[in-house]
Structures are given as C-alpha cells and as structure tokens.
Chains A and B, each alone.
Chain A
Amino acid sequence: QKEVEQNSGPLSVPEGAIASLNCTYSDRGSQSFFWYRQYSGKSPELIMSIYSNGDQEDGRFTAQLNKASQYVSLLIRDSQPSDSATYLCAATMDSNYQLIWGAGTKLIIKP
C-alpha cells in the first residue's frame, strides 16, 4: 500500500515565525510532489510543486525534497494568520501519474 504520511496537527505557530510542515512517502519511485492548501469548506489549491532534490522557493514558501530520505517539507516564512489552513501533501505514484495524498496537517498561526 503506497502511502503519504503527515502529522495531523494542529501545528500552532506564532505570527511572524517560520512554520515547518513535513511529509514522508513510501513509493521510492515517486517523481512529483505537491503541497496544497485547503481552507475549511473550500477547495484545495496548489501552492508549491517540486520535482527534484533540493529547495524550491516561491515568495514566503519554500518546498524541500530529499528523495534519499523520501521526505518533503514546506516552510512558510513570516507566517500570517491568513496562512491558517490545512496543508495537504501529495506525491505521484511511480507506475502512473495518479496522486497519493496525505491526510493533511492543520496549521494555526496565532496573532
């Protein structure tokens, strides 16, 4: 059973601090990795995608991928209350482009 694992949280971070979200995956052949943000009752929206080892930065967001450790992380700098949401990690299966999802980490940014 191929899986993506996330800590369900909630993860509480003070405003202005760095929020660090982590995700591990079991399929060593996974090639593409994604972080989606979902506000309560709303649709998931893509915030970061990463395909190769290392860091990828977009504004306040940095995705980090370590294929040897099968580990993906998302860093949010200068956290804002509007960042409070559930963050979903997803990875493609080796055999096709079907996405496997983690259960999500609930992030709370405290003013």
Chain B
Amino acid sequence: EAGVTQFPSHSVIEKGQTVTLRCDPISGHDNLYWYRRVMGKEIKFLLHFVKESKQDESGMPNNRFLAERTGGTYSTLKVQPAELEDSGVYFCASSSGLAGQPGTGELFFGEGSRLTVL
C-alpha cells in the first residue's frame, strides 16, 4: 500500500511568488494534517481536514496560506505571496482516526516538501 506522498520534494522560489504543495494521503484516511518545521525548531501544526472539511485551521499563520482538500482525497497548500519566513519543511500526515487517539490515531507522514524562499 502506498504511503503518504508529497510533491514537490523541494521548491526554491523568490519572495512574492506563489507555490502550491500537494499531499496524497493514504487511501481511506479521512484525517489529513499539514505541519511545518522550521530548521532547528519543533513541528508546528497548521491545519486539519476531516474528509473535505477543515476541522481546525488555527495553526495557519495568515491569509497568505490557503489549503484545500477537494473531494476529500488529495490536499493542496498554496502560499501566495511567499515571504522569507515561510521557508521550512512542510509535512503532510494522515490517519484513520483523530491523531493521537488510541488505536486509530497513528499519524503517517510524507517525506515533506522543503520550501526555500529567497
């Protein structure tokens, strides 16, 4: 069975440009999470989808970030316009149940999309 896949693995853009990151979760996983990790810092929660609905987007830094999950399958995270502080590794993870919930909450991560904004 395929794991969580993310594309692109690395993106280098200039300040002010737009980037769209894509995540394909494990098939059948209703819960999809976006996280970001800045070098040397902890993984930070961005938002959580249950199927196609945004369950929690309290971690989204500002309105330059837009996430979608059309049809409850893959998800995209768009950054427009990108700023220098947006650089980092963006991880997507999926789970059958809520992350952290005993039994069904194991999070499966993609390998991340490294974003560098110059």
Task: Tell me which of A12-20, A59-67, A76-84, A95-103 binds B.
Answer: A95-103
B110 A97 Cβ-Cβ under 8 A: no
Task: Tell me which of B14-22, B66-74, B76-84, B96-104 binds A.
Answer: B96-104
With both chains docked as a complex, state the minimum distance between the C-beta of A2 and any C-beta of chain B, in angstroms.
Answer: 11
A42 B99 Cβ-Cβ under 8 A: no
Query: Which of B40, B43, B91, B106 lies in contact with A46, CB distance below 8 A?
Result: B106
Known interface pairs A43-B109, A43-B111, A46-B106; A101-B42 also in contact (CB < 8 Å): yes
The answer, yes or no, to whether B107 is at the interface (CB within 8 Å) is yes
Known interface pairs A34-B100, A43-B110; A99-B42 also in contact (CB < 8 Å): no
The answer, yes or no, to whether A10 is at the interface (CB within 8 Å) is no
Query: Which of B40, B107, B110 lies in contact with A99, CB distance below 8 A?
Result: B107
Known interface pairs A88-B43, A101-B42, A103-B42; A32-B109 also in contact (CB < 8 Å): no
Q: Is the interface of B mostly helix, strand, loop or mixed?
A: loop
A102 B42 Cβ-Cβ under 8 A: yes
B102 A99 Cβ-Cβ under 8 A: no
The answer, yes or no, to whether B25 is at the interface (CB within 8 Å) is no
What is the CA–CA distance of A43 and B112 in the complex, to the nearest angstrom?
Answer: 7
A99 B56 Cβ-Cβ under 8 A: no
With both chains docked as a complex, state the minimum distance between the C-beta of A26 and any C-beta of chain B, in angstroms.
Answer: 13
The answer, yes or no, to whether A70 is at the interface (CB within 8 Å) is no
- Of all chain B residues, which has the CB nearest A92? B100
**A-side contacts of B109, CB under 8 Å:** 36, 43-45
A97 B44 Cβ-Cβ under 8 A: no
- Of all chain B residues, which has the CB nearest A44? B109
Which of A92, A97, A100 has the largest number of chain B CB atoms within 10 A? Answer: A97
The answer, yes or no, to whether B115 is at the interface (CB within 8 Å) is no
What is the CA–CA distance of A88 and B104 in the complex, to the nearest angstrom?
Answer: 20
Known interface pairs A49-B106, A98-B48, A98-B56; A43-B4 also in contact (CB < 8 Å): yes
